[in-house]
Amino acid sequence: AAGVIQSPRHLIKEKRETATLKCYPIPRHDTVYWYQQGPGQDPQFLISFYEKMQSDKGSIPDRFSAQQFSDYHSELNMSSLELGDSALYFCASSPVGQMNTEAFFGQGTRLTVV
């Protein structure tokens, strides 16, 4: 079965650079979430989209932005990268019209800022 696809899997950037992470949800899933997981930490919710509109916002820095496109894929844009942004970034998706349902996670993008 198709899963959530994230790209790239690994990314190395320098401080103050920008990065764009991409997420392709499971087909017919209309809700996408972004999470950040630092070393030894639990996943922290950043932002979510439902039907291409932002539906919820967590601890996303102002330097980050995200959107969901007409084909439901989502991109997380990160600017002025800092060393502390080094983390595993997960995208997850949920099925159509089902609030309060579990989320299915992609394999993540490992971002290293040097």
Partner 1 sequence: RKEVEQDPGPFNVPEGATVAFNCTYSNSASQSFFWYRQDCRKEPKLLMSVYSSGNEDGRFTAQLNRASQYISLLIRDSKLSDSATYLCVVNRGDSGYALNFGKGTSLLVTP
Per CB under 8 A, residues contacting partner 1 are 31, 33, 35, 41-45, 48, 50, 55-56, 58, 88, 90, 92, 94, 99-108
> Among residues 14 and 53, whose Cβ is nearest to partner 1?
53
Residue closer to partner 1 (CB basis): 14 or 55: 55
From CA 14, how far away is CA 20, in angstroms rounded? Answer: 13
Distance in Å, CB of 34 to partner 1, minimum: 10
Cis peptide leading into residue 95 (ω within 30°): no
Helix (H) or strand (E) holding 110: strand 109-113
Using alpha carbons, select from 13, 19, 36 the residue that is nearest to residue 83: 13
Quick one: 14 or 99, whose CB is closer to partner 1? Answer: 99
